[in-house]
Chain A
Amino acid sequence: MTTGEDVDFTALVQRQSRFVFRVAYAVLLNSHDAEDAVQETFLKLYRNRGWQHLSNERAFLARVAWRVAVDRRRPAQGTPATHLDSALDPSDPLDDSPSPSPGPEQTLLQANQNALIHSMIDALPEDLRLPLVLSAFDELNSREIASILSIPEGTVRTRLQRARQLLRQKLSAVQETRYA
């Protein structure tokens, strides 16, 4: 690889590594594993030289990172075995939270609302969490997310609405508990 290509690759890493990390984290739910997945993703790109002349850089990187993260996900670790229907059950919105971190009430008592919502996002099923994370940074639209996840664009929109609705319900329930 020439020096010019090295410069381009370094710029790519500095430009997109955080985005790739978020994609990997949305699958793996672990910072160390997500960082390993980021390194593996860029290493694959470097070896295959597949990072040059990309039409949609973010979509391509997100697709590669998602596949790497899914491959790295250990069966025991896995994502929460929550089904979409059970996750959307509004009767008990806090029951499907498998996060080993302290419960939402304790987190709320620590006045860390972001951590609370992060744990709620982690508790979402993967098919809801990944579109939400990809769309949260206003970098990818529904069409790009659909191409990354190989699902129809309408399904992406539906899942985004369900994910936000579920988060809203959970957060409302926690706030009602807090101010009760």
Chain B
Amino acid sequence: MPENDPIDILIEAALSTYATPGPGLEQRVLASVSGARISTANYAPEPTPGRRWLPWAIALPVAASLLLSIVLFTPKPKHPPTVSVNRVPLPAASIVRTAPPTKPHHSASGNSRIAPAATPLPKLDVFPTPQPLTPQEQALAVFAAKTPLPKLHALADAQMQADAPLNIAAIDIQPLDPSAQSGN
């Protein structure tokens, strides 16, 4: 650069003093850096308010993709599991014979079908339900409650002996008197 011109000399002199910082700049910079270091050591770094959404923004897509992959890639059973059903024989009267399937009716749109109305089957009791005692059973219960135990045992023994085979004595049948028969 030619600096022989006095104007150029003035410009260079002014440029050398342009943007001169105040005294103590280095100390202020070092103090701010050390202050920042102390504050960093004392306080754990927290996400800035503008970035609090960041963990959720990462976690939610990851969780959604995991769920989707589990749903899509889980092997499905080829045959549905067999369920054993105890079939109860229905009484002949309860079997309702339905009419043979007719031609399905198409709706106006032609897409839906109306299923034939099925007659609901009667519900049957699979297990015995408790029934109230009959008068005979009630009398037996009263008798058992009032009778002393030895008598009940004796009665039970008698019932057992009643089941034993009967011994019937041989019947001795006298022959009829022919004379008397002939006399009538």
Identify the interface centre among B19, B26, B36: most chain A CB within 10 Å of its CB.
B19
Q: Which residues of A contact B30 (CB under 8 A)?
A: 10, 13
Return A113 CB to nearest CB of chain B, in Å. 6
Q: Which residues of A contact B32 (CB under 8 A)?
A: 39, 42-43
* Given A25-B19, A133-B18, A114-B7 contact (CB < 8 Å): no
Flag the segment in B8-16, B86-94, B118-126, B128-136 that touches A.
Answer: B8-16
B18 x A43 contact (CB < 8 A): no
A39 x B29 contact (CB < 8 A): yes
A46 to B8, CA, bound (A): 39
A1 to B37, CA, bound (A): 10
Return B15 CB to nearest CB of chain A, in Å. 4
Mark interface residues in A4-33 (1 if CB within 8 Å of B CB, else 0): 000001100110011001100110000100
* Given A46-B33, A164-B11, A17-B21 contact (CB < 8 Å): yes
* CB neighbors of B among A112-166 (8 A): 113-114, 116-118, 121, 132-133, 136-137, 164
Return A98 CB to nearest CB of chain B, in Å. 17
A17 to B25, CA, bound (A): 7
By size class, the interface of chain B is 20 to 34
Q: Does B74 contact A (CB under 8 A)?
A: no
A113 to B11, CA, bound (A): 9
Q: Does B1 contact A (CB under 8 A)?
A: yes
Q: Does A84 contact B (CB under 8 A)?
A: no
Q: Which residues of B contact A34 (CB under 8 A)?
A: 19, 21
Q: Does B50 contact A (CB under 8 A)?
A: no
Given contacts A133-B15, A136-B16, 10 further A-B contacts (CB under 8 A): A9-B33, A21-B21, A22-B19, A25-B21, A35-B21, A35-B22, A39-B32, A46-B36, A113-B10, A168-B11
List residues of B whose CB falls within 8 A of some A CB.
1, 5, 7-8, 10-22, 25-26, 28-30, 32-33, 36-37
List residues of A whose CB falls within 8 A of some B CB.
1, 9-10, 13-14, 17-18, 21-22, 25-26, 31, 34-35, 38-39, 42-43, 46-47, 113-114, 116-118, 121, 132-133, 136-137, 164, 167-168, 171-172, 175
User: Can you list 20 A-B contacts with CB-CB less than 8 angstroms, sorted by A residue number?
Assistant: A17-B21, A17-B29, A18-B20, A21-B21, A38-B21, A39-B33, A42-B29, A43-B33, A116-B14, A117-B15, A117-B18, A118-B17, A121-B14, A121-B18, A132-B15, A133-B18, A136-B15, A137-B15, A168-B8, A168-B11
